[in-house]
């Protein structure tokens, strides 16, 4: 089987929804466009409001599993993110508009527990607020996901990993051998930089928002808590599901 790109996802608001893309243009040294442009800070946040900040400053699925069930659709031209959740319903978020935070806070009330630090505002960063300060994106292997499913003894949604790019046609865990090397997706070249360490957010079901598996314990079956790899765009261009993928031998 020839390796190919199967899925492209972005998450316009950190931890608040995922969106599938039918194509995207990547630029050298930049994150995936439209990914984690905004994040919602909470009352225990410790940052000055400018630039990149650590994930601990924001609402996260690690603390509230219900956030995992949010889906998103980002209209970049209109500056509006359409959010949907099985309990909270739908919400049109214009993050830069007056009153946007207050409306979002009210919409999140049925999802974000009152026992957790209260949301305080929407924070933005043009380069994205991924968990890593470097301008990288995440690459995942569907064969590795299937290996995790087999170990867990159940079907698992790929959305638990909140990844950007998914590749099929590889061996399980093959991606861990790419560190320091380049892969090619269509005409785009990416240098693989590091493995991605995981947190308990992966234990939440993306359909229901309920925590239903100890995913970290499943990963520890292989002696680590990693899934997927980070990569830096070296040569940019447009990619789309179905594009061929070349990986190190």
CATH for 162: 2.40.33.20
Q: What is the pTM of this model?
A: 0.96
- Say whether both 242 and 168 belong to one domain: yes
Rounded to whole angstroms, how far apart are CA atoms 87 and 130? 26
Same domain, residue pair 228 and 142: yes
pLDDT in tens, 197-226: 999 999 999 999 999 999 999 999 999 999
Is it the case that residue 232 has pLDDT exceeding 90?
Answer: yes
Is 120 in the same domain as 136?
no
Q: What is the domain range of residue 173?
A: 4-30+132-246
Q: Would you place residue 50 in the very low, low, confident or very high pLDDT band (cuts 50, 70, 90)?
A: confident
pLDDT digits (tens, 9 = 90+) for 101-156: 999 999 999 999 999 999 999 999 888 999 999 999 999 999 999 999 999 999 99
For range 44-71, the mean pLDDT: 92
Which among 124, 143, 177 is the end of a domain?
Answer: 124
What was the pLDDT predicted at 92? 98
CB proximity list for 172: less than 8 A, separation 6 or greater = 141, 143, 144, 146, 147
Where residue 49 falls among pLDDT bands split at 50, 70, 90?
confident
pLDDT confidence of residue 1: 62
Q: Please check whether residues 240 and 153 belong to one and the same domain.
A: yes
Backbone angles phi, psi at 48, to 5 degrees: -90, 5
Tell me, yes or no, whether 158 and 241 share the same domain: yes
What pLDDT is stored for residue 126 in this prediction? 86
Question: Read out DSSP for 215-227?
Answer: HHHHHGGGTS-EE
- Co-location of 23 and 141 in the same domain: yes
Give the pLDDT of residue 51.
84
Helix (H) or strand (E) run with residue 24 in it: strand 24-26
On whether the CB atoms of residues 83 and 93 are closer than 8 A, the answer is yes
pLDDT digits (tens, 9 = 90+) for 1-45: 689 999 999 999 999 999 999 999 999 999 999 999 999 999 999
Same domain? 101 vs 179 = no
Pair (136, 225) in one structural domain: yes
Quick one: 154 and 86 in the same domain?
no
Count of structural domains, the chain: 2
Q: What are phi and psi of 38, to 5 degrees?
A: -130, 160
């Amino acid at each position: 089987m020839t390796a190919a790109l199967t899925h492209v996802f972005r998450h316009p608001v950190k931890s608040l929804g995922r969106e599938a893309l039918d194509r995207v243009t990547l630029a050298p040294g930049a994150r995936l466009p439209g990914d984690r442009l905004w994040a919602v800070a909470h009352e225990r946040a410790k940052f000055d409001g400018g630039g990149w900040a650590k994930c601990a400053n924001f609402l996260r699925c690690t603390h509230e599993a219900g956030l995992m069930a949010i889906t998103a659709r980002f209209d970049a031209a209109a500056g509006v993110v359409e959010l949907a959740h099985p309990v909270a319903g739908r919400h049109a978020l214009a993050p830069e508009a007056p009153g946007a935070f207050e409306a979002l806070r009210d919409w999140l009330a049925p999802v974000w527990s009152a026992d957790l630090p209260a949301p305080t505002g929407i924070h933005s960063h043009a380069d994205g607020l991924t968990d890593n300060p470097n301008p990288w994106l995440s690459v995942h292997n569907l064969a590795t996901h299937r290996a995790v499913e087999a170990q867990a003894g159940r079907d698992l949604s790929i959305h638990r990993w909140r990844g950007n790019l998914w590749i099929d046609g590889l061996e399980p865990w093959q991606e861990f051998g790419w560190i320091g090397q380049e892969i090619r997706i269509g005409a785009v070249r990416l240098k693989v930089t590091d493995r991605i360490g995981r947190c308990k957010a992966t234990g939440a079901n993306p359909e229901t928002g309920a925590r239903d598996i100890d995913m970290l314990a499943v990963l520890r079956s292989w002696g680590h808590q990693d899934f997927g790899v980070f990569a830096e765009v070296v040569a940019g261009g447009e990619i789309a599901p179905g594009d061929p993928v070349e990986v190190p031998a």
